[in-house]
């Protein structure tokens, strides 16, 4: 897909999200809940954060996508994650998995691996260390940051994608989106995004919104990463530091125009 057709696809998705306000169910971590909810709202989607075992099945049943993020999990949340995931699976709703910090501790790696196997998420998005941990059980010593560039995780992503039959996004300076043998690369983005907590989690949440309106999970993943990157570039141009970056990033998502996308989009496929 060349840049023009990719821009068409992104803009069509954004228009659908703004028109339909798809309900996106998030089981996510405490640190980023506010930011990801606001990012989904700014994009035009309708976020709901619900993790109680007593209600996640009903919530998943009315939502159009489920985003599962293991950033600050504890055992009851894991049970909720599987309950919600089971419903999403039965209803053929897309599941997005964010394995935050996989590789940093055994608990996180295992917590990320079991939904990977049992729920076969349509999209997994992590940094290179997280993707390597999921594929190879590799240990990391950087907490939730990556010690690797996305290209270092290319074969890990391929192995994972073969196992899950889903899309694997390895995000970083250049994002790699691997699906069924094809590889898309998104060159948009800005280094300031690494100085703010929750940008990766926000990418996963936005992937939920795109997957809610686009039946191609590959397109949904590429479009979400491109929109993240373009909004990041726009925001970085208006903020000297990471504090003012976040409000500007949310404004950029809200104000995003077709020409912002056409002028800035930098993707390749192979």
- What CA–CA distance (Å, rounded) separates 256 from 48? 23
Tokens of 175: 């994002």
Q: 7 CB contacts (<8 Å, ≥6 apart)? A: 258, 261, 262, 265
With contacts defined by CB under 8 A, name the span among 19-27, 118-126, 206-214, 222-230 that binds a second copy: 19-27
Q: Following CA atoms 67, 147, 232, 221 in sequence, which dihedral angle do they give, to the nearest 10 degrees?
A: -40
Shortest distance (Å) from residue 77 CB to a second copy: 9
Task: Indicate whether 74 belongs to the interface with a second copy (CB under 8 A).
Answer: yes
Which residue among 97, 104, 203, 220 contacts a second copy (CB under 8 A)? 104
> CA-CA distance, 201 to 18, in Å (whole number)?
21
Which of 8, 12, 16, 50 binds a second copy (CB under 8 A)? It is 50
Which residues, in sequence order, are bridge partners of residue 171? 127
Contact flag: residue 82 with a second copy (CB under 8 A)? no
Identify the residue among 3, 8, 16, 72 touching a second copy (CB under 8 A).
72
47 binds a second copy per the rule CB under 8 A: yes
Among 96, 133, 144, 265, binds a second copy (CB under 8 A): 144
Q: Which of residues 105-124 bind a second copy (CB under 8 A)?
A: 105-108
Judged by CB under 8 A, does residue 55 bind a second copy?
yes
Residue among 70, 42, 82 at smallest CA distance from 250: 42
Contact with a second copy (CB under 8 A) among 4, 15, 58, 237: 58
The strand ranges marked E within the chain are 23-27, 46-49, 65-69, 95-98, 123-127, 167-171, 175-179, 182-186, 267-269
Strand-pair partners of 123: 96, 167
For CA atoms 28, 32, 34, 39, the dihedral sign is: negative
Retrieve residue 215's tokens. 């039946």
* Among residues 10, 42, 156, 265, the one that binds a second copy under rule CB under 8 A: 42
Which one of 20, 196, 262, 264 is in contact with a second copy (CB under 8 A)?
Answer: 196
CA 148 to chain centre: 18
- For a second copy, give the closer residue by CB, 143 or 165: 143
Question: For a second copy, how many residues bind (rule: CB under 8 A)?
Answer: 65
Supply the minimum distance, in Å, between the C-beta of residue 224 and a second copy. Answer: 18
Site residues, a second copy (CB under 8 A):
21, 23, 25, 29-35, 37-38, 41-42, 46-55, 58-59, 62-63, 71-76, 101, 104-108, 141-145, 195-198, 239-244, 246-255
């Amino acid at each position: 897909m060349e840049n023009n057709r990719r821009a068409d696809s992104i803009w069509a998705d954004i228009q659908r999200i703004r028109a339909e306000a798809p309900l996106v169910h998030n089981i996510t971590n405490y640190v980023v809940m506010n930011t990801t909810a606001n990012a989904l709202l700014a994009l035009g989607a309708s976020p709901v954060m619900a993790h109680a075992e007593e209600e996640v099945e009903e919530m998943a049943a009315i939502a159009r996508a489920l985003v599962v993020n293991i950033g600050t999990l504890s055992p009851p949340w894991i049970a909720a994650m599987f309950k919600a995931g089971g419903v999403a699976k039965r209803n053929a709703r897309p599941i997005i998995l964010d394995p935050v910090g996989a590789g940093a501790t055994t608990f996180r790696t295992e917590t990320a691996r079991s939904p990977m196997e049992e729920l076969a998420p349509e999209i997994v998005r992590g940094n290179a260390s997280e993707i390597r941990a999921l594929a190879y059980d590799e240990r990391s010593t950087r907490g939730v940051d990556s010690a690797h560039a996305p290209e270092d995780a290319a074969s890990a992503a391929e192995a994972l994608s073969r196992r899950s039959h889903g899309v694997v996004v390895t995000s970083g300076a250049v994002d790699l989106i691997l699906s069924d043998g094809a590889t898309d690369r998104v060159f948009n983005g800005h280094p300031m995004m690494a100085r703010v907590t929750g940008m990766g989690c926000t990418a996963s949440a936005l992937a939920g919104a795109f997957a809610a309106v686009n039946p191609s999970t590959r397109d949904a993943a590429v479009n979400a990463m491109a929109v993240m990157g373009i909004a990041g570039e726009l925001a970085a141009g208006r903020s000297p530091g990471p504090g003012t970056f976040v409000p500007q990033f949310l404004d950029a998502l809200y104000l995003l125009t077709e020409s912002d996308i056409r002028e800035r989009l930098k993707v390749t496929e192979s």
